A and B are shown apart, each in its own frame.
Chain A
Amino acid sequence: MPLLTVTDLKVAINGEPILRDIDLSVDSGKVLGIVGESGSGKSLTAYSIMRLLPAGSTASGRISFAGKSLFSLSEAAMCKVRGRDIGMIFQEPMTALNPLRTIGDQIAETIKIHTDANRDQVRRLLLDTLRRVELPPEQFPPSRYPHELSGGQRQRVVIAMAIALRPRLLIADEPTTALDVTTQAQILKLLRRLVDEDGLGLMLISHDLAVVANTADEIAVMKNGVVLDAGTPKRIFSGDSHPYATELLEASTHVPAIVSRAAEKSDVNGNGNAPLLEVKGLVREYKLPRDNIFARSKSFRAVDNVSFTLQHGENLGLVGESGCGKSTLTRAILGLEVLQGGSVRLNGQQVLFGERRGLAPRHSMQAVFQDPFGSFNPRHKVAKLIAEPLYAAPQKLNRIEQRSAVAQVIERVGLRSQDGEKYIHEFSGGQRQRIAIARALISRPALIILDEAVSALDVSVRAKVLDLLVELSAEFDIAYLFISHDLSVVRSVTERVLVMKNGRIVEQGMTGTVFNSPQHPYTAELVNSVPVLGYSVR
């Protein structure tokens, strides 16, 4: 008999049905992967099992766990199940821990509320749990606070809280989405080890097909609140599964057709072609707080002597983990940082920090950022948002010209021109990112910096946005600096790639060469950490 069986689960929020007829089961010692795009109801399914649904929701159906029907338990009895029999871990390790309490305190809390263990026993179990999640107490004493740990370490603490009492079922809701590839690989390995050692059942929820495919024993594919198909990874990816599963697989292995125009051009113009962007010996240091007022101030080099060039129409990738200095470098190129050394030149003109000096060259570059909602003013209409770069343009357009320019780019990125009259919250994540691209496009830039521009998007949306980017690049002769922690995306759209670590470029070269035969050990580690879909379409 399976450990957990969900039968006919229906959930409605404020009367509106969100989940319909969900049937799932998880066995002890097995991993059930649930994949689907955002809004498919994956997380809501998890919260139904935990009975932690948002206010205003009603659930019906049957959830039986180890022979008990969870829906018939009282709230008090359910509190005893949570944390002791069913553990849960979440997507965002940075906010999942209480910042004001030590990690030991927070892990021990799980033990204290469910058992009568005395202080020594709690302490022993706590240290043992820290070891099980590979946070040796000698290095990570329980007296640490969450802000003293990295994202991956915090996620281990969250896992420790969930598994301290060796629950029989663990629900992991996007446990690695917010983490770097190398950390992701380690956390997935840890979860798999816990499943194999403790024989716990794991429900692994992710939007990333590759993450689930390599870890799960069974996969359920969800869309719009329905389970479309379920089975072994082999069958799901074999092609005789539900068409949507195949669609997802296609989207996540999607490679847009790149027209390599940089190579073409240098053939035509010879090697004397001046680069579009030239970054030379760039250094950005941050002052660290002094130990005391008489001590010499120390500094931290976020970007350490970085040099590279970018040709007209070239797609250059920049990869590295969070904290490696990617974002600081982006800001420096855009003229938004004071430099401690080196220079940035766009079309031969130096990009300077400051409002007055640096505007002219900046006009021919634009940027698209990761968060498609946070980078727009929610009180302005989309047409006004898109027209923004025009206010800084050297030659001003009149009202009519401006309107037609806006209409043109809106339609070019695949929206309708009347969408300009709407506000940003009326659009989906993918549409918002299209609007961000339209905003970048309107000033006809020679360079667009894409800083994690597709990282927040679902696979199928991401595939379409990537296609659009490649088309635009060819049509308007735009060069891209494509910054991402997602190696597979960088691989599919760039010609050349830079690998960054601790503020330095450790390796660069043609994308295929760098990824197929990495020279630097760090690049090799990055490439090996990427979960690879071992299944091809058909």
Chain B
Amino acid sequence: MIRFIARRVVSLALTLVVASAIIFLALEVVPGDPASIMLGVNAQPDTIAALKEELGLNVSRPARYFNWVAGMLHGDFGISYTYRTPVRDMIADRILISLPLAVYALLLSTAIAFPAGILAATRRGAVADVSIMGSTQLGIAIPNFWFAIILVAVFAIKLQWFPAGGFPGWQDGFIGGIKALTLPAVALALPQASILARVMRSSLLDTLGEDYIRTARAKGLTTRQSLWRHALRNALIPVLTIIGLQFSFLLAGAIIVENVFYLPGLGRLIFQGITQRDLIVVESVVMLLVFAVVMVTFIVDVAYAAVDPRLRKR
């Protein structure tokens, strides 16, 4: 098991190195010089040169790459070209919204999907199954921004249970923050829960058809006991993969919902960075997201090995 984890850590580190190089190169080949864009079309060449020096853009590409990576390792992500503030502080502010939002949405989605998937699988073909599967179709088909608008109309404007948008910050208490994140989290969780419930159902149905479930029944276990003791853990393996993918998506891909709710999250930050050619912000946020995705994959891999003894040997 320790060897398995060590091996995974090595591949994780290599992935990060390759990803950082690709991100750096991809943004380097994009036309447009940040210094000229910041100063506008009428800027003097010597002003541009001075700014370039200040931003650290006047050295060679490899040197800039190494400065960037070395800085990140020290927690220094550089200075935003547009706002002239440390990128680290900008990311820190945003991540305090995006990370809790992603976790909240994932918890909601899992809490909905597991019981729904299990119920549908055990009542295959019955009313419960048909109606759950019908609702998941709907959940996948509805665009989440539209669903977000409906949520705002009902729960924020009509019932006034939750704020319609914005984020008060965590300093005013946990409850206020959670309240502000609830509607966005629900909007994000619904399609995710629908997908997850379907995966859970089909995975569980496969497992329930396995020979070892028949063996368990022959031992004298009831249907329910064989489901909880033998089927569920085996069915969890594909479900874990989907959860890992969904978390990565929720962290980075919440931009539309962030816009609907005026949440200053990572998605909006990266969007602003791109439109303003604030390359250092884009690079840093993308790198951070890559790091998050790689970490989640790592955790999922370790979780696999914890669930499945056959994988520990590899």
A residues apposed to B, CB below 8 Å: 50, 52, 75-76, 79-84, 87-88, 90, 92, 95-101, 109-110, 113-114, 145, 147, 158, 161-162, 289, 292
Knowing A98-B230, A147-B309 touch, does A82 contact B210 (C-beta < 8 A)?
no
B234, CB-defined interface residue at 8 Å:
yes
**CB-contacts of B284-314 with A (<8 A):** 307-310, 314
Interface centre among B3, B229, B307, B309 (most CB of A within 10 A): B309
Q: How far is the CA of A345 from the CA of B294 in the complex (A)?
A: 50
Q: Let me know if A98 and B308 touch, CB within 8 A.
A: no
Q: Let me know if A162 and B218 touch, CB within 8 A.
A: yes
Q: Let me know if B307 and A100 touch, CB within 8 A.
A: yes
Q: Let me know if B211 and A113 touch, CB within 8 A.
A: no
A residues less than 8 Å from B222 (CB atoms): 75-76, 79
Q: How far is the CA of A161 from the CA of B217 in the complex (A)?
A: 12
B residues less than 8 Å from A83 (CB atoms): 218-221
Q: Let me know if A87 and B212 touch, CB within 8 A.
A: no
B residues less than 8 Å from A81 (CB atoms): 220
B225, CB-defined interface residue at 8 Å:
yes
B123, CB-defined interface residue at 8 Å:
no
A residues less than 8 Å from B314 (CB atoms): 289
Q: How far is the CA of A292 from the CA of B4 in the complex (A)?
A: 10
Q: Which residue of B lies closest to A158 (CB)?
A: B215
Q: Which residue of A lies closest to B6 (CB)?
A: A292
Q: Let me know if B220 and A113 touch, CB within 8 A.
A: yes
Q: Let me know if B212 and A97 touch, CB within 8 A.
A: yes
B214, CB-defined interface residue at 8 Å:
yes
Q: Let me know if A96 and B310 touch, CB within 8 A.
A: no
B240, CB-defined interface residue at 8 Å:
no
Q: Let me know if A95 and B212 touch, CB within 8 A.
A: yes
Instruction: Give which listed residue, B221, B229, B308, B309, contacts A79 with CB less than 8 A.
Output: B221
Q: How far is the CA of A110 from the CA of B221 in the complex (A)?
A: 8
B residues less than 8 Å from A289 (CB atoms): 314
Q: Let me know if B234 and A100 touch, CB within 8 A.
A: yes
Q: How far is the CA of A497 from the CA of B233 in the complex (A)?
A: 47
Knowing A99-B310, A145-B309, A145-B310 touch, does A50 contact B234 (C-beta < 8 A)?
no
Q: Let me know if A110 and B310 touch, CB within 8 A.
A: no
Knowing A98-B230, A113-B225 touch, does A82 contact B218 (C-beta < 8 A)?
yes
Q: How far is the CA of A104 from the CA of B86 in the complex (A)?
A: 58
Q: Let me know if B219 and A113 touch, CB within 8 A.
A: yes
Q: Let me know if A80 and B212 touch, CB within 8 A.
A: no
B residues less than 8 Å from A145 (CB atoms): 309-310
A residues less than 8 Å from B128 (CB atoms): none
B residues less than 8 Å from A75 (CB atoms): 222
Q: A99-B212, A109-B216 are in contact. List 7 more A-B contacts (CB 8 A).
A: A83-B220, A96-B212, A98-B212, A100-B234, A113-B225, A158-B215, A161-B215
Q: Which residue of B lies closest to A93 (CB)?
A: B211
Q: Let me know if A88 and B218 touch, CB within 8 A.
A: yes
Q: Which residue of B lies closest to A81 (CB)?
A: B220
> Shortest CB–CB separation between residue A292 and chain B, in angstroms?
7
Q: Which residue of A lies closest to B207 (CB)?
A: A98
